[in-house]
Structure 1
Amino acid sequence: MKYIYVTSGTEHYLRQILAENPTEQIMLLQNYSNVVLLHESAEPSVFKEENTFRMLQSKGKIKGFGFVTFEYVMVRDEEVPVFLELYHKMVKPLEETPGLQCFQLGESTKRSQFLILTFWDSEKYYQAFKTTPYHAKVIEMMESNNTQIGFSHIDTYHFPEFAHDAK
Protein backbone atom coordinates (compact mmCIF):
# COMPACT_ATOMS: atom_id res chain seq x y z
CA MET A 1 0.00 0.00 0.00
CA LYS A 2 1.21 3.48 -0.83
CA TYR A 3 1.06 6.37 1.63
CA ILE A 4 1.01 10.14 1.37
CA TYR A 5 3.10 11.89 4.02
CA VAL A 6 2.87 15.64 4.61
CA THR A 7 5.12 17.69 6.87
CA SER A 8 5.77 21.36 7.34
CA GLY A 9 8.51 23.49 8.83
CA THR A 10 10.91 26.21 7.92
CA GLU A 11 12.06 26.22 4.34
CA HIS A 12 15.67 25.74 5.43
CA TYR A 13 14.81 22.65 7.49
CA LEU A 14 12.64 21.12 4.76
CA ARG A 15 15.37 21.64 2.16
CA GLN A 16 17.75 19.74 4.46
CA ILE A 17 15.31 16.80 4.43
CA LEU A 18 15.24 16.96 0.62
CA ALA A 19 19.04 17.00 0.44
CA GLU A 20 19.32 14.04 2.84
CA ASN A 21 16.85 11.93 0.80
CA PRO A 22 17.67 12.47 -2.88
CA THR A 23 16.25 9.13 -4.02
CA GLU A 24 12.86 9.58 -2.33
CA GLN A 25 9.80 10.89 -4.16
CA ILE A 26 9.49 14.11 -2.13
CA MET A 27 8.06 17.38 -3.43
CA LEU A 28 8.60 20.82 -1.95
CA LEU A 29 5.52 23.02 -2.20
CA GLN A 30 5.14 26.60 -1.06
CA ASN A 31 2.72 29.47 -0.75
CA TYR A 32 3.14 32.97 0.63
CA SER A 33 3.26 31.85 4.26
CA ASN A 34 4.03 28.10 4.39
CA VAL A 35 6.30 25.45 2.97
CA VAL A 36 5.44 21.74 3.02
CA LEU A 37 6.97 18.51 1.85
CA LEU A 38 4.80 15.89 0.20
CA HIS A 39 6.22 12.38 0.18
CA GLU A 40 4.60 9.40 -1.55
CA SER A 41 5.94 5.99 -0.62
CA ALA A 42 5.05 2.42 0.28
CA GLU A 43 7.84 2.61 2.86
CA PRO A 44 7.74 4.35 6.25
CA SER A 45 8.11 8.11 6.17
CA VAL A 46 11.52 9.75 6.25
CA PHE A 47 9.94 12.65 8.17
CA LYS A 48 10.25 12.92 11.96
CA GLU A 49 6.71 14.29 12.22
CA GLU A 50 4.06 13.99 9.55
CA ASN A 51 0.41 13.59 8.73
CA THR A 52 -0.06 10.17 7.17
CA PHE A 53 -2.73 9.23 4.65
CA ARG A 54 -3.35 5.85 3.00
CA MET A 55 -3.52 6.50 -0.73
CA LEU A 56 -6.91 5.26 -1.90
CA GLN A 57 -6.68 6.54 -5.47
CA SER A 58 -4.29 8.31 -7.78
CA LYS A 59 -4.99 9.29 -11.39
CA GLY A 60 -2.79 11.23 -13.74
CA LYS A 61 0.84 12.28 -13.64
CA ILE A 62 2.41 15.01 -11.53
CA LYS A 63 4.45 17.25 -13.84
CA GLY A 64 6.47 19.07 -11.16
CA PHE A 65 5.14 22.54 -11.89
CA GLY A 66 1.94 24.44 -11.33
CA PHE A 67 -0.66 24.81 -8.61
CA VAL A 68 -1.57 22.25 -5.93
CA THR A 69 -4.60 22.05 -3.64
CA PHE A 70 -4.88 20.12 -0.39
CA GLU A 71 -8.54 19.73 0.54
CA TYR A 72 -8.73 18.31 4.06
CA VAL A 73 -12.24 16.93 4.58
CA MET A 74 -13.35 15.90 8.07
CA VAL A 75 -16.04 13.22 7.86
CA ARG A 76 -18.06 11.58 10.63
CA ASP A 77 -17.80 7.78 10.57
CA GLU A 78 -21.39 7.36 9.40
CA GLU A 79 -20.75 9.78 6.52
CA VAL A 80 -17.71 7.99 5.09
CA PRO A 81 -19.79 6.01 2.55
CA VAL A 82 -21.60 9.22 1.53
CA PHE A 83 -18.31 11.06 1.07
CA LEU A 84 -16.74 8.21 -0.93
CA GLU A 85 -19.79 8.03 -3.20
CA LEU A 86 -19.62 11.79 -3.73
CA TYR A 87 -15.91 11.55 -4.51
CA HIS A 88 -16.44 8.74 -7.02
CA LYS A 89 -19.14 10.78 -8.78
CA MET A 90 -16.62 13.62 -9.04
CA VAL A 91 -13.87 11.43 -10.57
CA LYS A 92 -15.14 11.33 -14.16
CA PRO A 93 -15.74 15.10 -14.47
CA LEU A 94 -12.41 15.69 -12.71
CA GLU A 95 -10.58 13.47 -15.21
CA GLU A 96 -11.98 15.58 -18.04
CA THR A 97 -11.13 18.93 -16.45
CA PRO A 98 -8.74 21.06 -18.53
CA GLY A 99 -5.42 21.83 -16.87
CA LEU A 100 -5.62 18.99 -14.34
CA GLN A 101 -2.41 16.97 -14.08
CA CYS A 102 -3.21 14.51 -11.30
CA PHE A 103 -5.62 13.95 -8.44
CA GLN A 104 -5.28 11.75 -5.41
CA LEU A 105 -7.44 10.65 -2.50
CA GLY A 106 -5.92 9.80 0.85
CA GLU A 107 -7.50 8.66 4.12
CA SER A 108 -5.91 9.69 7.40
CA THR A 109 -4.45 6.91 9.51
CA LYS A 110 -5.18 8.85 12.71
CA ARG A 111 -8.56 10.61 12.40
CA SER A 112 -11.77 10.77 10.37
CA GLN A 113 -10.23 12.87 7.65
CA PHE A 114 -9.70 12.56 3.91
CA LEU A 115 -7.23 14.47 1.77
CA ILE A 116 -8.07 15.34 -1.83
CA LEU A 117 -4.90 16.45 -3.62
CA THR A 118 -5.19 18.07 -7.03
CA PHE A 119 -2.28 19.15 -9.21
CA TRP A 120 -3.03 21.80 -11.85
CA ASP A 121 -1.07 23.40 -14.69
CA SER A 122 -1.99 26.78 -13.15
CA GLU A 123 -4.34 28.31 -10.60
CA LYS A 124 -6.80 29.47 -13.26
CA TYR A 125 -7.80 25.86 -13.99
CA TYR A 126 -8.51 25.20 -10.31
CA GLN A 127 -10.55 28.41 -10.07
CA ALA A 128 -12.68 27.18 -13.00
CA PHE A 129 -13.17 23.77 -11.36
CA LYS A 130 -14.29 25.45 -8.11
CA THR A 131 -17.44 26.63 -9.93
CA THR A 132 -18.63 23.07 -10.67
CA PRO A 133 -21.48 21.43 -8.76
CA TYR A 134 -19.15 18.54 -7.82
CA HIS A 135 -16.77 20.83 -5.98
CA ALA A 136 -19.71 22.64 -4.37
CA LYS A 137 -20.90 19.34 -2.84
CA VAL A 138 -17.47 18.69 -1.33
CA ILE A 139 -17.41 22.21 0.12
CA GLU A 140 -20.92 21.71 1.51
CA MET A 141 -19.82 18.52 3.29
CA MET A 142 -16.70 20.26 4.61
CA GLU A 143 -18.77 23.14 6.01
CA SER A 144 -21.46 20.94 7.56
CA ASN A 145 -18.92 18.91 9.53
CA ASN A 146 -16.64 21.72 10.73
CA THR A 147 -18.35 22.40 14.04
CA GLN A 148 -19.01 18.76 14.87
CA ILE A 149 -15.80 16.79 14.38
CA GLY A 150 -12.96 19.08 13.49
CA PHE A 151 -11.84 21.62 10.98
CA SER A 152 -12.05 20.99 7.23
CA HIS A 153 -10.05 23.38 5.11
CA ILE A 154 -8.29 23.95 1.80
CA ASP A 155 -4.60 24.83 1.49
CA THR A 156 -3.09 25.89 -1.82
CA TYR A 157 0.55 25.73 -2.87
CA HIS A 158 2.73 25.92 -5.93
CA PHE A 159 5.95 24.27 -6.96
CA PRO A 160 9.00 26.54 -6.77
CA GLU A 161 8.92 28.61 -9.95
CA PHE A 162 12.44 29.94 -10.18
CA ALA A 163 15.83 28.27 -10.10
CA HIS A 164 16.71 29.94 -6.80
CA ASP A 165 13.40 28.70 -5.31
CA ALA A 166 14.24 25.09 -6.16
CA LYS A 167 17.65 25.07 -4.45
Structure 2
Amino acid sequence: MSVYMTSGTYDYLAALKEKHPEQSVYLLQGEDNTIAYTEGKNIFDEARAYEIVDQEGTLQNEGYVVMNNIPVTDEGRPLFEDRFKQRAGAIEDSPGFQSIRILRPVQGNTYIVLTLWQNVQSFEDWKNSQAFQKAHQNNGPQSKEKPSYVAGPAYLTKYHMTE
Protein backbone atom coordinates (compact mmCIF):
# COMPACT_ATOMS: atom_id res chain seq x y z
CA MET A 1 0.00 0.00 0.00
CA SER A 2 1.15 3.53 -0.70
CA VAL A 3 1.51 6.34 1.82
CA TYR A 4 1.69 10.05 1.04
CA MET A 5 2.80 12.91 3.25
CA THR A 6 2.96 16.64 2.73
CA SER A 7 3.82 19.63 4.88
CA GLY A 8 2.04 22.93 5.30
CA THR A 9 0.32 25.17 7.77
CA TYR A 10 -2.21 23.56 10.04
CA ASP A 11 -5.07 25.62 8.56
CA TYR A 12 -4.14 24.72 4.98
CA LEU A 13 -3.84 21.01 5.74
CA ALA A 14 -7.07 20.97 7.80
CA ALA A 15 -8.89 22.54 4.83
CA LEU A 16 -7.37 19.92 2.54
CA LYS A 17 -8.57 17.18 4.89
CA GLU A 18 -12.11 18.63 4.84
CA LYS A 19 -11.99 18.76 1.04
CA HIS A 20 -11.44 14.96 0.92
CA PRO A 21 -13.91 13.41 3.41
CA GLU A 22 -13.78 10.10 1.51
CA GLN A 23 -10.14 9.61 2.51
CA SER A 24 -8.55 9.15 5.93
CA VAL A 25 -6.16 12.07 6.34
CA TYR A 26 -4.23 12.37 9.58
CA LEU A 27 -2.81 15.70 10.76
CA LEU A 28 0.44 15.52 12.71
CA GLN A 29 1.39 18.68 14.60
CA GLY A 30 5.08 19.10 15.40
CA GLU A 31 6.92 21.81 17.29
CA ASP A 32 7.44 23.90 14.17
CA ASN A 33 5.55 22.15 11.39
CA THR A 34 2.45 20.20 10.47
CA ILE A 35 2.27 17.12 8.27
CA ALA A 36 -0.72 15.52 6.56
CA TYR A 37 -0.53 11.72 6.16
CA THR A 38 -2.76 9.48 4.09
CA GLU A 39 -2.70 5.88 2.90
CA GLY A 40 -3.98 4.64 -0.45
CA LYS A 41 -4.65 7.41 -2.96
CA ASN A 42 -2.54 10.57 -3.31
CA ILE A 43 -4.59 13.73 -2.77
CA PHE A 44 -1.63 16.10 -2.32
CA ASP A 45 -0.07 18.38 -4.95
CA GLU A 46 3.41 18.01 -3.48
CA ALA A 47 3.63 14.64 -1.77
CA ARG A 48 6.45 12.54 -0.40
CA ALA A 49 5.55 9.00 -1.44
CA TYR A 50 6.29 5.79 0.48
CA GLU A 51 5.36 2.14 0.32
CA ILE A 52 4.42 0.22 3.45
CA VAL A 53 6.96 -2.57 4.03
CA ASP A 54 5.37 -3.78 7.26
CA GLN A 55 2.61 -2.60 9.57
CA GLU A 56 0.78 -3.46 12.73
CA GLY A 57 -2.08 -1.74 14.52
CA THR A 58 -4.50 0.93 13.41
CA LEU A 59 -3.80 4.62 12.95
CA GLN A 60 -6.00 6.89 15.01
CA ASN A 61 -6.68 10.63 15.17
CA GLU A 62 -5.27 10.87 18.69
CA GLY A 63 -1.87 10.03 20.07
CA TYR A 64 1.84 10.73 19.93
CA VAL A 65 3.76 9.97 16.73
CA VAL A 66 7.48 9.24 16.61
CA MET A 67 9.15 8.94 13.22
CA ASN A 68 12.60 7.38 13.13
CA ASN A 69 14.12 8.61 9.85
CA ILE A 70 16.84 6.17 8.74
CA PRO A 71 18.97 6.69 5.61
CA VAL A 72 19.65 3.29 4.00
CA THR A 73 22.08 2.38 1.24
CA ASP A 74 20.62 1.03 -2.03
CA GLU A 75 22.28 -2.35 -1.54
CA GLY A 76 21.19 -2.42 2.12
CA ARG A 77 17.46 -2.03 1.45
CA PRO A 78 16.64 -5.77 1.41
CA LEU A 79 18.61 -6.34 4.62
CA PHE A 80 16.97 -3.37 6.37
CA GLU A 81 13.47 -4.42 5.31
CA ASP A 82 14.06 -8.05 6.28
CA ARG A 83 15.24 -6.93 9.72
CA PHE A 84 11.88 -5.27 10.35
CA LYS A 85 9.84 -8.10 8.85
CA GLN A 86 11.65 -10.52 11.19
CA ARG A 87 11.44 -8.31 14.27
CA ALA A 88 10.30 -9.93 17.48
CA GLY A 89 7.19 -7.78 17.74
CA ALA A 90 7.90 -6.75 21.33
CA ILE A 91 6.79 -3.19 20.63
CA GLU A 92 3.21 -4.34 19.99
CA ASP A 93 2.97 -5.63 23.56
CA SER A 94 4.11 -2.33 25.07
CA PRO A 95 1.51 -0.44 27.09
CA GLY A 96 0.23 2.52 25.10
CA PHE A 97 1.36 1.19 21.70
CA GLN A 98 -1.19 1.84 18.93
CA SER A 99 0.49 1.21 15.57
CA ILE A 100 3.70 0.95 13.56
CA ARG A 101 4.42 1.53 9.87
CA ILE A 102 7.73 0.75 8.15
CA LEU A 103 7.81 3.11 5.16
CA ARG A 104 10.09 2.68 2.12
CA PRO A 105 10.71 5.93 0.21
CA VAL A 106 9.71 5.94 -3.46
CA GLN A 107 12.43 8.57 -4.05
CA GLY A 108 15.50 9.08 -1.90
CA ASN A 109 17.00 6.75 0.67
CA THR A 110 15.42 7.69 4.00
CA TYR A 111 13.06 5.09 5.40
CA ILE A 112 10.61 6.06 8.12
CA VAL A 113 9.68 3.86 11.06
CA LEU A 114 6.48 5.53 12.25
CA THR A 115 5.08 4.55 15.63
CA LEU A 116 1.88 5.84 17.18
CA TRP A 117 1.57 5.85 20.96
CA GLN A 118 -1.27 6.70 23.31
CA ASN A 119 0.85 9.53 24.76
CA VAL A 120 4.42 10.75 25.27
CA GLN A 121 4.82 8.74 28.46
CA SER A 122 3.98 5.49 26.66
CA PHE A 123 6.78 6.16 24.16
CA GLU A 124 9.25 7.12 26.90
CA ASP A 125 8.38 3.97 28.85
CA TRP A 126 9.04 1.86 25.72
CA LYS A 127 12.31 3.68 25.03
CA ASN A 128 13.48 2.95 28.58
CA SER A 129 12.29 -0.66 28.63
CA GLN A 130 14.32 -3.85 28.49
CA ALA A 131 12.33 -4.84 25.39
CA PHE A 132 13.65 -1.72 23.61
CA GLN A 133 17.20 -2.45 24.74
CA LYS A 134 16.93 -6.02 23.48
CA ALA A 135 15.43 -4.97 20.14
CA HIS A 136 18.20 -2.39 19.58
CA GLN A 137 21.16 -4.13 21.23
CA ASN A 138 23.17 -4.60 18.03
CA ASN A 139 22.17 -1.53 16.05
CA GLY A 140 20.32 0.95 18.20
CA PRO A 141 21.13 4.52 19.19
CA GLN A 142 23.75 3.41 21.74
CA SER A 143 25.66 1.16 19.31
CA LYS A 144 29.18 2.22 18.48
CA GLU A 145 29.14 0.42 15.13
CA LYS A 146 26.27 1.10 12.78
CA PRO A 147 24.93 -1.65 10.50
CA SER A 148 26.39 -1.74 6.97
CA TYR A 149 23.04 -0.72 5.46
CA VAL A 150 23.01 2.66 7.23
CA ALA A 151 23.82 5.52 4.83
CA GLY A 152 23.99 8.32 7.42
CA PRO A 153 22.80 9.40 10.83
CA ALA A 154 19.21 8.57 11.76
CA TYR A 155 17.05 11.21 13.42
CA LEU A 156 13.70 11.37 15.21
CA THR A 157 10.79 13.66 14.47
CA LYS A 158 7.89 13.82 16.92
CA TYR A 159 4.28 14.91 16.47
CA HIS A 160 0.90 14.91 18.13
CA MET A 161 -2.09 13.70 16.13
CA THR A 162 -4.72 16.41 15.87
CA GLU A 163 -8.30 16.41 14.64
The one-letter amino acid of 2:85's match is H
Q: Cα offset for 1:68? A: 0.7
d(CA) in 2 for partners of 1:5, 1:33: 20
What's 1:104 paired with? 101
What's 2:34 paired with? 35
What's 2:161 paired with? 159
Q: Cα offset for 1:57? A: 1.6
User: Which of 55, 58, 61 is matched with 1:61 structurally?
Assistant: 58
Cα distance 1:135–1:123, how it changes in 2: closer, same or farther (>3 A)?
A: farther
TM-score by length of 2: 0.83
- Asked if residue 52 in structure 1 is aligned to residue 54 in structure 2, the reply is no
TM-score by length of 1: 0.81
Partner SS for 2:95: coil
The answer as to whether partners of 1:129 and 1:135 remain within 8 angstroms in 2 is: no
d(CA) in 2 for partners of 1:33, 1:104: 23
d(CA) in 1 for partners of 2:84, 2:142: 13
Q: Deviations over 1:99-157 (max 9, x none)?
A: 1011111100012221111110111111122232224634368x958xx8456321111
* RMSD (Å) for aligned C-alpha atoms: 2.3
The answer as to whether partners of 2:9 and 2:34 remain within 8 angstroms in 1 is: yes
What's 2:8 paired with? 9
Q: Which has more helix, going by share of residues?
A: 1
**Structure 2 stretches lacking a partner, 5+ long:** none
The one-letter amino acid of 2:91's match is L
Partner SS for 1:78: coil
Aligned sequence identity (%):
23
**Structure 1 stretches lacking a partner, 5+ long:** 161-165
